[in-house]
Structure 1
Amino acid sequence: MPYITTKDGTEIYYKDWGNKNGAVVTFSHGWPLNSDNWENQMYFLASQGYRVIAHDRRGHGRSSQPWEGNNLDQYADDLAELFDHLDLKDIMMVGHSTGGGEVARYCGRHGTSRVSKAVLVSSIPPLMLKTDKNPGGLSIEVFNSFRDATKKDRAQFSIDVPTGPFFGFNREGAKLSQGLIWSWWQQAMMCSFIGYYDCIKAFSETDCTEDLKKMDIPVLLLHGTDDQVVPIGASAREGIKILPNGKLKEYPGGPHALPNIHIEEINQDLLDFLRS
């Protein structure tokens, strides 16, 4: 399996599928999952002739489980090392949830010289936490409850999240997929405890406002109007006001897990944006 070793000795696992001479699309996953969660989109675009690359963030999946560096700055720096190692250019970066914050922070810290476009799906920017300047965010008590549940019974919490709000299976009329729940649980339990715990702070308290301002490339925001994890009002609808060249598409009634629940529509939106 392909890995790179970062400057601080962390091994980052990545997948590199499709046409090695094709246009490059990279995928950044959400908390506390790994690159497997993008398999539908990766297979679809690779089958269309693109080169698709997705990594497991440090502390997640098959990557190392370091005690340090479980924050958005380091996640972005790890991604920069991967891009440099593979010498990727003209990339379309795609990020879901925390991965969208990773994409924004990469552009904020490392610029867009290697990036042509970006897609933020159900993503955390600009800021999830409720503050005086961000009154539409979620209170710190919400994220403290995540931390408490992690320490009390991480395994059960990792069943409760996908059974309920992540996929929207707690909504009346939702068609529950036990397979998706098991997949989420498996990926979550592959995550290190410290990576799982620290990433809660990373996705909830990191302000990506300045990163969005520096994204001087076309950016597509895809977000469900019934996202119970990253509510659209304080995320995509605020982010579109900040981005220099952004476009927002709302999925009516869509849950947080758009890549898993609205597979065909997400695939087509990514392909159309690539070709635009």
Structure 2
Amino acid sequence: MLFLGKHGYRVIAHDRRGHGHSTQSWSGNDINTYAADLNAVINHLNLKNIITVGHSTGGGEVTRFLGTYGTSKVAKAVLIGSITPSLGIPLSVWDTFRTNYITNRPQLFLDFASGPFFGFDRPRANVSQGLIQEFMEQGFKAGFVNLYDCITAFSETDFTADMKKLNIPVLILHGDADEVVPIDNTARKAIQILKHGALKIYPGGAHALPQTNANQVNQDLLDFIQK
């Protein structure tokens, strides 16, 4: 946001319901409501000619928003490490994830951040304790039920129909070493669905590209915006 703001763009980010400083509502922790909340923010601020950017589950949120509410206010979209069109990972994996979340949420956060999220579990990884700490702090700010329900939202939603509706340029940024959202299940399938899509693969890139590859992501966003 700082990078794009310094290049003259108005940059807006919202805390998804149940996350950050937003209300920890018991209900509505699903993709359809996430998209409706995003639409409400856009309408409230009277935004037009915008470029929507979503990472991971946020990519699904952006895609469902565009598929449901159209692209009249959106010029372009960017999906980073996005779960679209679907994760394609056996639900048994996420059942175990849910069990570990309930049993010991702090340990799950620590293991996830120390491992696959940033790719810190790979040989010769440049491990950042600061990023691990930040990940855990953001996790603890979120409501317990909100994150629990979000597991279902990101693991069981199919966005194929939404992607087929998109008539705007869409840039996909994805790491080919993403252990959380495998590129073969998502980005490589998504690019075959989109009418006006472009895929940029980050060799060796993990899931958290906006943190681990911040400078390159920033430049790729700027280049795409300025086209």
TM over 0.5: yes
1:47 maps to 6
Give 3-state SS (helix, strand or coil) of 2:76's partner. Answer: strand
Deviation at 1:248, TM superposition (A): 0.4
Deviation at 1:257, TM superposition (A): 0.4
1:30 maps to none
Give the distance between the partners of 2:223 and 2:202, measured in 1 at CA: 16
Deviation at 1:138, TM superposition (A): 1.0
Consecutive unaligned residues in structure 2, runs of 5 or more: none
Alignment of 1:244 onto 2:203? no
1:79 maps to 38
Deviation at 1:155, TM superposition (A): 1.2
1:111 maps to 70
Alignment of 1:141 onto 2:92? yes
Structure with the higher fraction of residues in helix conformation: 2
Give 3-state SS (helix, strand or coil) of 1:221's partner. Answer: strand
Give 3-state SS (helix, strand or coil) of 2:26's partner. Answer: coil
1:154 to 105, 111, 116: 105
Give 3-state SS (helix, strand or coil) of 1:148's partner. Answer: helix
Consecutive unaligned residues in structure 1, runs of 5 or more: 1-41, 129-136
Any idea what the Cα deviations from partners look like across 1:3-43, whole Å, max 9, x if unmatched?
xxxxxxxxxxxxxxxxxxxxxxxxxxxxxxxxxxxxxxx00
Give 3-state SS (helix, strand or coil) of 1:63's partner. Answer: coil
Give 3-state SS (helix, strand or coil) of 2:171's partner. Answer: strand
> Looking at both structures, which has the greater relative contact order when contacts are Cα pairs under 8 Å and sequence separation is at least 6?
2
Give the distance between the partners of 2:40 and 2:209, measured in 1 at CA: 28
2:79 maps to 120
Deviation at 1:214, TM superposition (A): 1.1
Alignment of 1:273 onto 2:224? yes
2:162 maps to 211
What aligned pairs does 1:1-276 form with structure 2 within 5 A after superposition? Answer: 42-128=1-87, 137-276=88-227
Give the distance between the partners of 1:64 and 1:146, measured in 2 at CA: 24
Runs of 4+ in 1 over 6 A off after TM superposition: none
Give the distance between the partners of 1:146 and 1:56, measured in 2 at CA: 23
Any idea what the Cα deviations from partners look like across 1:190-224, whole Å, max 9, x if unmatched?
11011110000000100000111111100000000
1:32 maps to none
Give the distance between the partners of 1:275 and 1:214, measured in 2 at CA: 24
Letter of the 1:56 partner, please give it.
Answer: D
Deviation at 1:126, TM superposition (A): 0.3
Give the distance between the partners of 1:234 and 1:215, measured in 2 at CA: 20
Deviation at 1:146, TM superposition (A): 1.1
Structure with the higher fraction of residues in strand conformation: 1
Any idea what the Cα deviations from partners look like across 1:37-65, whole Å, max 9, x if unmatched?
xxxxx000001110000000001110000
Give the distance between the partners of 1:49 and 1:218, measured in 2 at CA: 21
TM-score (normalised: structure 2)? 0.99
Q: Percent identity?
A: 55
Any idea what the Cα deviations from partners look like across 1:229-267, whole Å, max 9, x if unmatched?
000001000000101110000001100000000011000
Deviation at 1:145, TM superposition (A): 1.2
Letter of the 1:215 partner, please give it.
Answer: L
